[in-house]
Amino acid sequence: MYMAGRSRFYSEKPYVIKNCIDQRKEIFVAKVKGYFPKSEYNNLLALPPIFRNIEIQNKEEVIGEYMYSQAQKHSLPMTKKDRKLTTLLDTNGQFMIFNNYYLWLLIDLGFIITDYKAIAVFEKNAAYEPFVRTMMNLRIQAILAGSTKEKFYKLIINSSYGYDTLNTEKFGKIKMLDKAGTFIAQHHPNHMGTKRISANIFAVQLKPKTATCFTSIQSGVFTLDNAKYWYLNYIYNFMYKCLDRKRFHFVLADTDSIYIAISGDPTKDCHQQFEAIVKDKQFYDQHVYNYLPDPNKDIYDYKKIL
């Protein structure tokens, strides 16, 4: 799996965009609009595969009766729109950006593109791989030595293409001010919101005047979309193909982890993994240790890079 390097070309011509997507040779970021047909819903509804931030209107028919009643009960603002990370079965009637790996996976799952907006094609590179492998080996050595440096190396890997690619333009600065300072701040053009902390102390949020980004934008986009690719590839191309889907349920999904409730063998402990719910034993045995650690091997296998 490659990362994006220097830009090769950009195009807004639909036939160019479609050809790049269909040929599956280049690495790119494409802006498209599309949906999954209803015939795919039964396969996708347990965990819709489009992970994107969208604006949510705080209406009962949108957020549900329970959430709406709780918001009213606690006097939360109901008129403004909120941006929420959401799992979707379509692009919500708008153009969305996907990198090539993520978009190809969606297409393989039945995604239909209805409109093409733009595409940016990049040079391929694997320059990040030696860094990851070096840091991971140092982390494993620290674990074997019982050293606290393990957490240090983990932090280096996790933050190298995470924090650096945050769009700080979207994050406000919060100041603790008294009534006089709050009054002045609320008249500032960068004022975003105010919350009372005590009788004379207020938390005032201001939009920053400048934004920083230490990593190229395309590297950040590819890191985030590649993570979604591996996340969904594991679920749709491994779990769904060999496990009994009636015996596991997705409880919670986070940025880089997922919590699954499994109806396994009650006589065995948590180390049984998926053994009790396997439907296709041949497929499971062939692919399981491409994704999960082999209990018969050492920590180098447990911390292997997929």
pLDDT in tens, 217-267: 788 788 888 888 988 999 999 999 999 999 998 888 776 678 889 998 999
pTM summary value: 0.78
Could you tell me the pLDDT band of residue 172, with boundaries at 50, 70 and 90?
confident
- Please give the single-letter amino acid code of residue 242: C
**pLDDT, tens digit, 9 for 90 and up, residues 195-215:** 889 888 999 988 877 766 667
How large a percentage of the chain has pLDDT more than 70?
92
Locate 225 and state its tokens: 């979309």
Is residue 5 within 8 Å of 69, Cβ to Cβ? Answer: no
The answer on 106 and 27 residing in a single domain is: yes
Cβ pair 157, 223 in contact under 8 A? no
* Residues 196 and 239 both lie in one domain: no
Q: Are residues 201 and 233 in the same domain?
A: no
Q: Do 22 and 96 have their domain in common?
A: yes
- Of 91, 106, 125, the one marking the end of a domain is 125
Residue 53 within a domain: yes
Higher-pLDDT residue of 111, 73: 111
Same domain, 11 and 102: yes
For 204, residues 6+ apart whose C-beta sits below 8 A from its C-beta are: 174, 175, 176, 177, 181, 182, 185, 186, 191, 193, 194
Task: Say if 237 falls within a structural domain.
Answer: yes
Structural domain contains residue 302: no
Q: How far is CA 50 from CA 59, 88, 242, in A?
A: 22, 5, 23
Q: What is the pLDDT of residue 171?
A: 67
On whether residue 144 sits in a domain, the answer given is no
Domain count along the chain:
3
Residue 115 shares a structural domain with residue 75 = yes
Same domain flag for 112 and 202: no
Mean pLDDT of the chain: 86
In a domain, 31, yes or no: yes
- Report the alpha-carbon distance of residue 8 to residue 5 in Å, rounded: 9
Are 68 and 112 contained in the same domain? yes
Sequence length of the chain is 306
pLDDT of residue 164 exceeding 60: no
Residue 108 lies in a domain: yes
Q: What pLDDT does 286 receive? A: 93
pLDDT (tens digit per residue) in 88-110:
999 999 999 999 999 999 999 99
Among 273, 279, 295, 211, CA closest to 245: 279
8 and 116 within one domain: yes
Residue 217 lies in a domain: no
96 in the same domain as 21: yes
Q: What pLDDT shows up at residue 116?
A: 96
Residue 268 lies in a domain: yes
31 and 105 both lie in a single domain: yes
**DSSP string of 155-168, one letter each residue:** HHHHHHTTGGG--G
Whole domain around residue 259: which residue ranges? Answer: 229-296
Contacts 24+ apart (CB under 8 A), 156-165: 157/132, 160/131, 161/128, 161/215, 161/219, 161/220, 161/223, 162/223, 164/213, 164/214, 164/215, 164/220, 165/213, 165/215, 165/217, 165/219, 165/220, 165/223, 165/224
The helix/strand/coil state of 13 is: coil
Q: Do 16 and 80 have their domain in common?
A: yes
Checking DSSP bridges between strand 248-253 and strand 258-262, what pairing results, if any? antiparallel
122 pLDDT tier (thresholds 50, 70, 90): very high
